[in-house]
C-alpha cells in the first residue's frame, strides 16, 4: 500500500504573547487556520529503515527533519519494526510562518499509523505531536482552532471563511527562536502573567464575536529584524487589501481581499517583484478531514 497525502499550510488570525511561563516558553493565545496551499507527501513501505527524499535542495533529509523525527518517535512508541520510503514535494516556503514543517510532521504520524497498521490512541498522537512542535497538534484536525499554553493545546472553533486570500513571502527565512528572543520585555514581564487564561472557557471568551481582531505580537520584533516584511505589508495595504497581517513568526504576510478581481489585480501588480505569491482560501475542518480521508482510502 502506497499513500499520497496533502500537507496543508496554516495562517494565524491572531497570535498573542501573554507572558513567560515557568518552563521558559512563552504563554500564547492564537487562532490558527488551515489554507489550501500544500506540500505533497508520498509514503511507501520498506523493510526497516526510514528513507526521506525531497525535491527542495534546502530541506534536510536526515534526522533533523521533523518528518524523520516523527517516524522515529512513532516507531519508539509502538515498537514497530517496519520502515518507510517518504518523498516530500515541497511547495510551502521554508521558515515562512506557514507551519509547513509542523504540518509535514502531523501528516507523517497519521500516514505511518495507517501504512504500518498501528493502533495508536489519539492522546498518544497528540503527545508525540507536542514533542515535535507547538503547531503540530493543530494539523491533526485543521480548520479553525484556538491554541493556548505553548500553542500546542489546541481546540476546534467555528470555521472562519475567507475565499480571497493572498500569501506573499519576500524570500526571507526567519528563525523562530530569533524572533521570540527579540520580543519586548513588556510582553514577558511578571505583570503580563495576569493576562494568561486560566481555563479554556476564559480563552474562548476572549476570542468570541467582535472581541478579537487580527493581531500578531511577533510582528513588531520580526519587522525590526527583517524590514523587508514591513515593505510587503505596506505594498499589500496600497493594493487595497481588506486585512493584512504577518503569519506566525514570519516572513509570510497574508492579505484578505473582498473579491477575486481585487486579489487578481494585486497579484498581477506583485509580479514585478521576486516575491513568492500564492492565491489561496481558508480550508474548513470538514474539507481538511475529507482530503485526508480520501488520501488514506477511508
Catalytic sites, residue numbers: 10, 135
Q: What's the half-sphere exposure (Cβ side, CA atoms, 13 Å) at 222?
A: 28
> How far apart, in whole angstroms, are the C-alpha atoms of residue 126 and residue 3?
22
Q: What's the half-sphere exposure (Cβ side, CA atoms, 13 Å) at 44?
A: 6
- Asked if residue 66 lies in contact with residue 133, where contact means CB atoms within 8 angstroms, the answer is yes
Q: What is the DSSP track for 229-257? A: HHHHHHHHHHTT-SEEEE-TTSS-EEEE-
Tell me if the bond preceding 251 is cis, omega within 30° of 0. yes
Q: Which of 150, 42, 129 is nearest to 77 (CA)?
A: 129
> How far apart, in whole angstroms, are the C-alpha atoms of residue 246 and residue 269?
20
> How far apart, in whole angstroms, are the C-alpha atoms of residue 165 and residue 243?
10
261 contacts: CB under 8 Å, gap ≥ 6 = none
Collapsing DSSP to helix, strand or coil, 171 comes out as: coil
Q: Which of 52, 152, 66 is nearest to 109 (CA)?
A: 66
Task: Give CA separation, 41 vs 2, 5, 58, 94, 96, in Å.
Answer: 11, 5, 17, 16, 19
Amino acid at each position: 500500500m502506497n499513500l499520497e497525502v496533502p500537507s496543508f499550510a496554516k495562517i494565524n488570525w491572531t497570535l498573542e504573547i501573554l507572558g513567560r511561563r515557568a518552563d521558559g516558553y512563552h504563554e500564547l493565545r492564537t487562532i490558527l487556520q488551515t489554507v489550501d496551499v500544500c506540500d505533497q507527501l508520498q509514503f511507501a513501505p520498506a523493510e526497516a529503515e526510514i528513507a526521506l527524499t525531497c525535491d527542495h535542495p534546502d530541506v534536510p533529509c536526515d534526522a533533523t527533519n521533523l518528518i524523520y523525527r516523527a517516524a522515529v518517535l512513532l516507531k519508539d512508541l509502538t515498537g514497530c519494526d517496519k520502515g518507510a520510503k517518504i518523498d516530500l514535494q515541497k511547495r510551502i516556503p521554508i521558515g515562512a510562518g506557514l507551519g509547513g514543517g509542523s504540518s509535514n510532521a502531523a501528516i507523517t504520524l497519521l500516514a505511518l499509523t495507517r501504512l504500518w497498521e498501528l493502533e495508536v490512541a489519539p492522546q498518544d498522537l497528540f503527545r508525540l505531536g507536542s514533542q515535535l512542535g507547538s503547531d503540530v497538534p493543530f494539523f491533526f484536525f485543521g480548520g479553525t482552532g484556538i491554541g493556548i499554553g505553548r500553542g500546542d493545546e489546541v481546540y476546534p472553533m467555528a470555521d472562519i471563511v475567507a475565499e480571497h486570500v493572498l500569501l506573499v513571502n519576500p524570500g526571507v527565512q526567519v528563525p523562530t527562536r530569533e524572533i521570540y528572543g527579540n520580543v519586548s520585555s513588556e510582553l514577558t514581564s511578571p505583570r503580563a502573567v495576569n493576562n494568561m487564561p486560566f481555563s479554556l472557557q476564559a480563552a474562548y471568551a476572549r476570542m468570541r464575536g467582535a472581541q478579537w481582531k487580527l493581531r500578531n505580537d511577533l510582528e513588531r520584533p520580526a519587522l525590526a529584524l527583517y524590514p523587508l516584511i514591513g515593505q510587503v505589508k505596506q505594498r499589500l495595504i496600497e493594493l487595497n487589501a481588506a486585512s493584512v497581517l504577518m503569519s506566525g513568526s514570519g516572513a509570510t504576510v497574508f492579505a484578505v481581499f473582498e473579491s477575486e478581481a481585487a486579489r487578481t489585480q494585486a497579484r498581477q501588480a506583485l509580479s514585478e517583484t521576486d516575491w513568492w505569491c500564492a492565491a489561496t482560501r481558508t480550508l474548513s475542518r470538514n474539507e481538511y478531514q475529507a482530503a485526508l480521508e480520501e488520501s488514506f482510502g477511508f
